[in-house]
């Protein structure tokens, strides 16, 4: 059974997560899915980087290579989505 402090923190975490999900849902309605999705995918390497900076967690070589792969693919998706959008606009 959680203490009162733990219960408040769990409720706060739930509220923040709900707000974040609402923001992502709104973003998918305002921008191309490939562009918005790249930010969602980038959350994993960004979280790993923050864990390394804040809590000095060590990253394995596989984790670093995976993060580099995800970031590279996110950049590629964003660039190709922008290129397709420009090409599909009639003159």
Residue 6 burial (CB count, 10 A): 10
Task: Give residue-wise pLDDT tens across range 31-80.
Answer: 888 778 777 777 888 888 899 999 999 888 998 898 888 888 878 877 77
Q: Which of 80, 51, 78 is nearest to 63 (CA)?
A: 51
Residue 74 burial (CB count, 10 A): 19
pTM exceeds cut of 0.85:
no
80 and 34 Cβ atoms separated by less than 8 Å: yes
């Amino acid at each position: 059974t959680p203490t009162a402090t733990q219960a408040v923190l769990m409720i706060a975490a739930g509220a923040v997560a709900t707000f974040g999900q609402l923001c992502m849902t709104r973003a998918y309605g305002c921008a191309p899915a490939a562009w918005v999705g790249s930010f969602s995918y980038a959350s994993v390497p960004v979280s790993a980087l923050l864990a390394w900076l804040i809590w000095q967690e060590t990253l394995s070589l596989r984790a670093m290579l995976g993060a580099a792969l995800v970031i590279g693919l996110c950049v590629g998706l964003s660039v190709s989505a922008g290129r397709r959008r420009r090409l599909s606009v009639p003159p």
